[in-house]
Amino acid sequence: MKNRALFLIKFVYMNSIIENNTVYYYSLIIWIIFGLIIFCILIKFNKIPTYGRYFPKRGILLNNRLGWILMEIPTLILMPYFTFNGFNYPNTVIICFLSIYMAHYMNRTLIFPFRIKSKKKKLPIHIVISAALFNLCNTFFIGYYFGNIAEHEITWLQTPYFISGLIIFLIGMFINIKSDTILINLRKNNNDDYKIPFGGLFRYISCPNYFGEILEWLGFAILTWSLSTLTFMLWTCFNLIPRAIRHHNWYKHRFNNYPDERRAIFPKIL
State which residue, 20 or 46, has the beta carbon closest to ligand NDP.
46
Shortest spacing between CB 204 and ligand NDP, in angstroms: 16
Residues in touch with ligand NDP (CB under 6 A): 52-53, 116, 118, 121, 176, 180, 183-184, 186-187, 192, 194-195, 197, 209-210, 213, 236, 239-240
H helices present in the chain, as ranges: 2-15, 22-44, 64-84, 92-106, 112-115, 125-144, 160-185, 208-224, 227-254
Residue 56 CB, nearest approach to ligand NDP (Å) = 14
22/63 with CB nearer ligand NDP: 63
In terms of CB distance, is 139 or 209 closer to ligand NDP? 209
Tell the smallest beta-carbon distance from residue 24 to ligand NDP (Å).
22
Q: Which residues contact 48 (CB under 8 A, 6 or more apart)?
A: 42
**Smallest distance from the beta carbon of 250 to ligand NDP, in angstroms?**
9
57 vs 51: CA distance, rounded Å:
11
Residue closer to ligand NDP by CB (options 93, 215) is: 215
Q: Which residues pair with 211 in a beta bridge?
A: none
Least spacing, CB of residue 174 vs ligand NDP, in Å: 12
Return the sign of the alpha-carbon dihedral for residues 231, 209, 205, 46. Answer: positive
Query: How far from chain centre, in Å, is Cα 44?
Result: 21
Task: Give the Å distances, CA to CA, from 117 to 60, 64, 167, 221.
Answer: 21, 10, 30, 32
- The partner residues of 123 in beta bridges, in order of sequence, read 62
Closest distance to ligand NDP from the beta carbon of 132 (Å): 12
CA–CA distance, 143 with 136 (Å, rounded to integer): 10
Residue whose CB is less far from ligand NDP, 3 or 189: 189
Helix (H, G, I), strand (E, B) or coil at 204: coil
Of the pair 156, 251, the CB lying nearest ligand NDP is at: 251
- CB closer to ligand NDP out of 150 and 207: 207
Nearer to ligand NDP, 94 or 244 (CB): 244
- Distance of closest approach, residue 31 Cβ to ligand NDP, in angstroms: 14
Q: How far is the CB of 36 from ligand NDP (least distance, A)?
A: 15
Q: Which residues does 190 contact at the CB level (< 8 Å), separation at least 6?
A: 117, 119
Q: What's the N-to-C CA distance of the chain in angstroms?
A: 58
Half-sphere exposure of 30 (CA within 13 A, CB side): 8
